[in-house]
Structure 1
């Protein structure tokens, strides 16, 4: 995919936000890399997707600096782990868990539902048409978490779940939503790696 972006070690593929959050774990030269391992990484990732969160929320999602994000960093990682656990089961992913190997499906479901605490409100300015905006009881970082969790519920409960895939290219831990039946890999880079590996094994 030509529009891939790397933020704080995480690859943004233009996937739905819950999938982008799942993909904050990857494989590098030093092994498994967690782009959310510290507060700075969480803040950088949330800022990178902030515009998309704002569009989903119906209002700008500002104030995602490291100080604002620090109190919720652990929640972002826990949401990511729950999403990955459920995605692994949904896709029959044969790869070993990259995060939270002890997390069960019921616990992941409970965590996802607990994080999805947001609600829509009608916004009708005097000089414009009515629209919907999502709210959260706390600040913008909490709203971002709640919206991503809410979209995660929609992903696993809706028709899109049938198109969720684990990328099985060598040394890849990412997930993606297949827009067409022939798509096998999360990115062109993984497709190339997989073809090279197949060629190598055929000619050994």
Structure 2
């Protein structure tokens, strides 16, 4: 399954399994756990790596990442409009202009110097010169740029907020009729729909 760092970030706000909303980044310990799960932390083949090496969980980094997440989720809400935004934060979304400014400022934290590498007898490839930016800034910039790439790319058209009861996730539709983020949400939504029909028919 394809993985997008922008969705990884947004999905740190999720259904807690018992009717509430859970924030995986509510504490520094939660941030530390999340950092170990990011693509690049464990070296999972085929996934776009994020620069997590040298990044240490701290309250300052937690606040910066949750601020970036708030911007991303506000822009996700705009993307799925006029469909419903995630109920987790639909009532307190960051204003659009503020979200854009925060995302763009984070993306600019690390200067980028693309270089062309073209070995004899090989094919040209683009690389990026290592930056002198600190590890936290590199990660924030990479997350912001991944979000920009996602929102400016074709996946944006397939972004949806899951409408299953209690779910607060955003997801990318993998096929035309997909309404929910995962099978368990589909089961829950169908059960809720069946219950409503039964109640209305018995009334």
Q: TM-score normalised by the shorter chain: which range applies?
A: 0.7 to 0.9
Q: Which runs of 4+ in 1 moved over 4 A?
A: 52-55, 128-131, 134-137
Q: Specify every segment of 5 or more residues in structure 2 that has no aligned partner in the other structure, as ranges.
A: none
The Cα shift of 1:31 comes to 2.1
CA distances 1:160-183 after superposition (whole Å, capped 9, x unpaired)? 210111111100110011122122
Alpha-carbon separation, structure 1, partners of 2:10 and 2:145 = 14
Alpha-carbon separation, structure 1, partners of 2:11 and 2:28 = 17
2:3 to 15, 31, 38: 15
Counterparts of 1:117-128 in structure 2, within 5 Å, are 117=108, 118=110, 119-122=112-115
TM-score (norm 1): 0.78
Question: Does 1:182 find its partner at 2:177?
Answer: yes
Q: Which has the higher strand share?
A: 1
> 1:136–1:142: 8 Å Cα contact kept in structure 2?
no
Counterparts of 1:66-145 in structure 2, within 5 Å, are 66=57, 69-92=58-81, 93-98=84-89, 101=92, 103-117=94-108, 118=110, 119-122=112-115, 131-133=126-128, 135-145=130-140
RMSD, aligned α-carbons = 3.1
TM-score (norm 2): 0.78
Question: Does 1:63 find its partner at 2:51?
Answer: no
The Cα shift of 1:39 comes to 1.3
* Higher Rg: 2
